[in-house]
Amino acid sequence: MAALHDALTPVFDEVIRRNPGEAEFHQAVREVLESLGPVLGKRPEYADAEIIRRLCEPERQIIFRVPWVDDAGRVQLNRGFRVEFNSALGPYKGGIRFHPSVYLGIVKFLGFEQIFKNALTGMPIGGGKGGSDFDPKGRSDAEVMRFCQSFMTELYRHIGEHTDVPAGDIGVGGREIGYLFGQYKRITNRYESGVLTGKGITWGGSQVRTESTGYGTVFFVKEALAARGMDLEGRRVVVSGSGNVAIYATEKAQALGAKVVATSDSSGYVVDEAGIDLDLLKEIKNGHRGRVSDYAARRDSAHFVAGGSIWDVPCDIALPCATQNELDADAAAALVRNGCLIVAEGANMPTTPEATRVLREGGVVFAPGKAVNAGGVATSALEMQQNASRDSWSFEHTEQRLSEIMSSIHARCLETADEYGAPGDYVAGANIAGFTHVADAMLALGVI
């Protein structure tokens, strides 16, 4: 671990003491605090107003019971969360995750990161995150619907277009957002489009929101390569995960001339030296909610590796797009050994702190999730903008806006890194640029 500025050690100790057993939250806080030392020297007013301590304490945390009835008529029970972390810049904004691993520490790490990511987009959105330990795998549409309805029956009282605007994340896509929006509309008797993002195109959704996180990830990589006199043409790319972010990162990487040679899910990975057949992958994943092993079974050029590390597959560009801490120090060492140029995080915090260090020491460019995957939430903010004006934009216009946002995020990271004496360091740039933006708003709003 890198050292903390003297003034930040007690702040971090307090976070650990007040949030016991929440390892992912501690990790996310530590990563930001390690970047903030140089800021304290330049801006003593932040310390005077206890901005950092206040940022580490969520404004509100909601935990609730989610009972529902399965197809066999049995009562099932899950726990729901919404952590409303910071609203200095706008209504709380961030996704909802349905995965059996979800507990308060995961929701808080995601909500904390979301504050800085959202600030970095330059759009008027605060930070929040929610979720449940519900596992949608193997559940029927009717079970998922009943679960979503029960979840929203509590959540509705806490959200609203000017209060808190959830969206998707792991396990929550178009189907779930539909059920959640339907129940919100029914309970409140309001067609309040701006209360959720990631909606279907025919009922208030935005073009490109489905594609935006993955496309934005590749737009960021394109900028990072261009800054070094390179492009994506002919590059070998490995993308972990095979969900929303991974699929559309693969699509855009292929469109820009790269060759994506591996994909994965929680059961293992697939190598396809002919390049991933995205139509087939989409059919299996989106159409049937199948596994990557099904892909290998249907494609001669592909083979499936159960378990193992996808990062052993040699590549120029590595895009971790599955989940937190999926890329560890051994994986990073393999990437360095194989001559990887850049690791860009499509997922939230997929790279462990040790792995980040190995990559940097090995000369691999490292671009953190809060900058790289910000295109998803930025396009959510564009969806809110369209909802507020009862308008809908074309795919081309929306994609153009996304591309401009990603290039401005990239530029802000580099400018800020330069300004604070860490040229080329995307981690320092993203953390400091996001932090100063939200910190200035908090100063202006007083002690609240």
Using the rule CB under 6 A, is 376 a contact of ligand 2IT? yes
Q: Please give the C-alpha separations between residue 133 and each of 66, 102, 113, 171, 320, in angstroms, as whole numbers.
A: 10, 5, 20, 10, 23
Query: What are the residues whose beta carbons fall under 8 Å from the beta carbon of 279, sequence distance 6 or more?
Result: none
Q: Residues 312-351 vs ligand NDP: string with x where CB under 6 A?
A: ---------xxx----------------------xxx---
Instruction: Check if the beta carbon of residue 155 is closer than 8 Å to that of residue 129.
Output: no
Contact flag: residue 37 with ligand NDP (CB under 6 A):
no
Tell me whether residue 114 is annotated as binding.
yes
Q: Which is nearer to ligand 2IT, 93 or 139 (CB)?
A: 93
Return the residue of 167, 221, 313, 430 that touches ligand 2IT, per CB under 6 A.
167
> DSSP class of residue 420?
T
From CA 29, how far away is CA 33, in angstroms rounded? Answer: 6
- Annotated binding-site residue? 95: no
Question: Smallest Cα–Cα separation from 241: which of 281, 301, 280?
Answer: 281
Question: For 379, phi and psi rounded to 5 degrees?
Answer: -70, -30
Q: At what angle do helices 374-388 and 209-226 cross, to 10 degrees?
A: 130
Neighbours of 259 (CB within 10 A): 19
Q: How many residues sit in the footprint of ligand NDP (CB under 6 A)?
A: 25
Q: Which residue, 312 or 418, is less far from ligand NDP as judged by CB?
A: 312
Q: Is 210 helix (H, G, I), strand (E, B) or coil?
A: helix
Report the nearest approach of ligand 2IT to the CB of residue 154 (Å): 19
**Whether residue 129 lies in the annotated active site:** yes
Told to check if 401 binds ligand 2IT by CB under 6 A, we report no
Residue 93's binding partner, choosing from ligand 2IT, ligand NDP, none, with beta-carbon cut-off 5 to 8 A by kind? ligand 2IT
Q: Which of 42, 108, 129, 222 is catalytic?
A: 129
Rg (CA), the chain: 21
Of ligand NDP, ligand 2IT, none, which one does residue 122 interact with (CB within 5 to 8 Å by kind)?
Answer: none
Is 213 annotated to bind a ligand? Reply is yes
For 274-295, the DSSP string reads T---HHHHHIIIIIH---HHHH
Q: Which of residues 266-285 bind ligand NDP (CB under 6 A)?
A: 266-267
Copy the structure tokens of residue 358: 């190995």
Residue environment code for 322-350, b if the CB has 16+ CB neighbours within 10 A, otherwise e: bbbbbbbbebbbbbbebebbbbbbbbbbb
Is 168 annotated among the ligand-binding residues?
Answer: yes
84-103 positions binding ligand NDP, by CB under 6 A = 99, 101
Q: Which is nearer to ligand 2IT, 93 or 235 (CB)?
A: 93
Nearer CB in complex with ligand NDP: 194/369: 369
Q: What are phi and psi of 397, to 5 degrees?
A: -65, -45
By CB under 6 A, residue 243 contacts ligand NDP = yes
Residue 93 counted as an annotated binding residue: yes
Distance CA 297, CA 68 (A): 36
Asked whether position 348 contacts ligand 2IT by CB under 6 A, the answer is yes
Asked if residue 368 binds ligand NDP (CB under 6 A), the reply is no
Binding site partner of 265, from ligand 2IT, ligand NDP, none, Cβ cut-off 5-8 A by kind: ligand NDP
* The one among 58, 90, 95, 130 contacting ligand 2IT by CB under 6 A: 95
Residue placing its CB nearer to ligand 2IT in the complex, 143 or 169? 169
Least separation, in Å, of the C-beta of 347 and ligand 2IT? 9
Question: How many whole angstroms separate alpha carbon 154 and alpha carbon 163?
Answer: 15
Q: Which residue is nearest to ligand NDP (CB)?
A: 243
* Residue of 27, 132, 153, 197 that binds ligand 2IT (CB under 6 A): 197
User: How far apart, in whole angstroms, are the C-alpha atoms of residue 357 and residue 330?
Assistant: 12
Q: Which two tokens stand for residue 394?
A: 């074309």
Answer yes or no whether residue 118 interacts with ligand NDP by CB under 6 A: no
CB of 145 to ligand NDP, least distance (A): 18
In whole angstroms, what separates CA 16 from the centre of its chain?
A: 23
Cβ nearer to ligand 2IT, comparing 116 with 269: 116
DSSP string, 365-381: EEE-HHHHTHHHHHHHH
Q: Which of 244, 356, 398, 431 binds ligand NDP (CB under 6 A)?
A: 244
Query: What is the token pair recorded at 133?
Result: 């330990």
- For the chain, helix, strand, coil in percent to 5 are 50, 15, 30
For residue 171, give the 3-state DSSP assignment: coil
Q: Is 197 in the site for ligand NDP (CB under 6 A)?
A: no
Among 31, 133, 164, 169, binds ligand 2IT (CB under 6 A): 169
Calpha distance 76→65 (Å, rounded): 11
Residue ranges of the annotated binding site for substrate are: 93, 114, 117, 168, 380
Catalytic residues: 129
Q: Which residues bind ligand NDP (CB under 6 A)?
A: 99, 101, 168-171, 173, 213, 241-246, 265-267, 321-323, 346-348, 373, 376
Q: Which residues bind ligand 2IT (CB under 6 A)?
A: 93-95, 114, 117, 167, 169, 197, 348, 376-377, 380
